[in-house]
Chains A and B, each alone.
Chain A
Amino acid sequence: MQNAKDSFYVALRTRLAAINPERTILLRSAVRPGIVVEEAEAPFAQLPADVFVLRWLGLGVDQDLPSTMVAEEVEVLYSTLGTQSFGGLDRGRALSEMDEELVAMLTPFWTPKLNYTATPATVMLTKVFWDEPVFGQATALRDRLSRTARVVVYSYQEAGE
């Protein structure tokens, strides 16, 4: 299951770097594409703005198949305060930009499954695929505008996993 989660995250990270190279985050002294997995970072007091945060939630397993299917629900959280040069008045536009980037990141709806515990990562036999995102309402807290989207990510368990 971890391989599917890793593959999904790396696929989105790679796509984001191509879609908007300027969306980055400085984390542990490294500049990275602006997407992080919440459970793989130190706990945040407040989620960083202008960055996509993946939060893994539900889990389902279907064992009545030739290969066990795993369904993992991920919540993508993102928020923005707009830009300083516009005094935050562009926060609505900034959120729309992140909406569009997320839709683009999720297309196409599959990626090869890789094992990232090996160096270099090894390509596995199956693909990880997912459904269309379900977007939540935009919420405003003072000058911060936030949204979440949920995606169900599917994968097949392979031998040795």
Chain B
Amino acid sequence: MATSSFLAPAPVVRRVRGYFAAVNRGTGTPVLFDPAEMGGFALDSPPAPWVSLGWIKNFTRKAGSRTAPILTGIPAAVLEQARETLDAQVGFQFLSWTKLTMALATGSQHMNLLAPAAGAAAVIQSGATATLLPLLAADAAKFSAGRIVAVDVDYAGQTGFVGSPVSGAYVKAALTDVDYVRRVTFNVATVASVATTGLAGLTLTDALPGGVPAAGMKVQALTGFVDREGGSFFQEWSALFVMEGGQGERVFFHYPRLQALGSAVEVASSLAKNGTLERVLLGGEFRALPVTDPLDGERVVCYRSFLPAGKALI
């Protein structure tokens, strides 16, 4: 008789993949991942609002929760246990430098280096999409293909969390920099082509993280990114890590709220055993913050899910 199942050994994985989703800092709402509903997604195209962070290296998890015994009787014996503290940490290295990975790995606020030569931000005309930014011809001529641009509103004295679609900073007191929101926004993309005749504007290589630009948003060229040691802002994000085993099984680690635990660090990884070239990886250490599980009201910091291989005995 043919067998219809097999005894699956522990998963054998090659690497770990990371995914990001923005926490709504204003309302304190993280993104929850439901593996029962979305666990089978293609790793290269995660379901919205998750964004791939690429493959990561040296992924480690550490639970810092402490339990304490409750003793009763003479002589005292453990009656039950109580959880005194709830804590968990995650560490890994990003294998790429992008706006997102750099911003998450840094321990503080992450900013865009706005290009000084490009002058004032250009007003986005009507008809914009997530990949097409119509501009006046004169404004479009200030940009060139390959340029990175930031798209967001002018700073108008607001306080609190600013930036879209991810809160890039918390403004404690009103500032005077009109470009401040575009300086901290995560809504960045690379220009694929520039049209200065006909329908003038910018075509982007990828869709803006924030989707279709809202009314009043402007586009501004930037040259790179910068972070600082210090400050009081902590970036917060919802994280998902996936290990895929050789039999197709999957292990998910979901942290609804993660904040950077340390400062910005780089890890050098030699390309060859006796060579001098080194790959510089962004190192990240993160602390998990608690959420209330809507299922039963318990406070938790992370979830570990396992989707077994097909036909595996459980």
Contacts and interface: CB of A to CB of B under 8 A. Distances in A.
Interface string A42-76: 00000000000000000000000111010000000
A156 interface: yes
A160 B6 contact: no
B223 to A, nearest CB: 35
15 contacts: A65-B9, A65-B10, A66-B7, A67-B6, A69-B9, A109-B246, A125-B5, A126-B6, A126-B309, A127-B247, A129-B246, A158-B3, A159-B6, A160-B2, A160-B3
B63 interface: no
Nearest to A131: B14
Given A125-B3, A125-B311, A154 B8 contact: no
A125 B246 contact: no
A157 to B, nearest CB: 9
Interface centre among A109, A125, A154, A159 (most CB of B within 10 A): A125
B224 interface: no
Nearest to A127: B247
Closest 6 CB pairs of A and B: A66-B7, A129-B246, A65-B9, A159-B3, A125-B6, A125-B311
A159 B12 CA distance: 21
Contacts of A132: 14
A129 B12 CA distance: 9
Interface of B: 2-10, 12, 14, 246-248, 309, 311
Interface in A109-154: 109-110, 125-127, 129, 131-132, 154
Given A66-B7, A126-B247, A129-B12, 6 more contacts: A67-B6, A67-B7, A110-B248, A125-B4, A125-B5, A156-B6
B311 A154 contact: no
Contacts of B4: 125
A110 B14 CA distance: 11
Nearest to A130: B246
B14 A109 contact: yes
Contacts of A109: 14, 246
A66 B246 contact: no
Contacts of A131: 14
Interface residues of A, number: 17
A98 B49 CA distance: 40
Interface of A: 65-67, 69, 109-110, 125-127, 129, 131-132, 154, 156, 158-160
Contacts of A69: 9
A109 B12 CA distance: 12
Contacts of A129: 12, 246-247
Nearest to B4: A125
Contacts of A127: 246-248, 309
A14 B71 CA distance: 66
Contacts of B247: 126-127, 129, 156
Contacts of A126: 6, 247, 309
Contacts of A158: 3, 6
Contacts of B2: 160
B12 A66 contact: no
A45 B67 CA distance: 70
Contacts of B8: 66-67
A158 B10 CA distance: 16
A125 B247 CA distance: 9
Nearest to A66: B7
B12 A154 contact: yes
A21 to B, nearest CB: 25
A110 B248 CA distance: 9
B44 to A, nearest CB: 11
A82 to B, nearest CB: 29
Contacts of A125: 3-6, 311
Nearest to A64: B9
Contacts of B6: 67, 125-126, 156, 158-159
Contacts of A66: 7-9
A156 B5 contact: no
Contacts of B309: 126-127
Interface centre among A109, A156, A160 (most CB of B within 10 A): A156
A66 B11 CA distance: 12
Nearest to A67: B7
Nearest to A159: B3
A159 B75 CA distance: 55
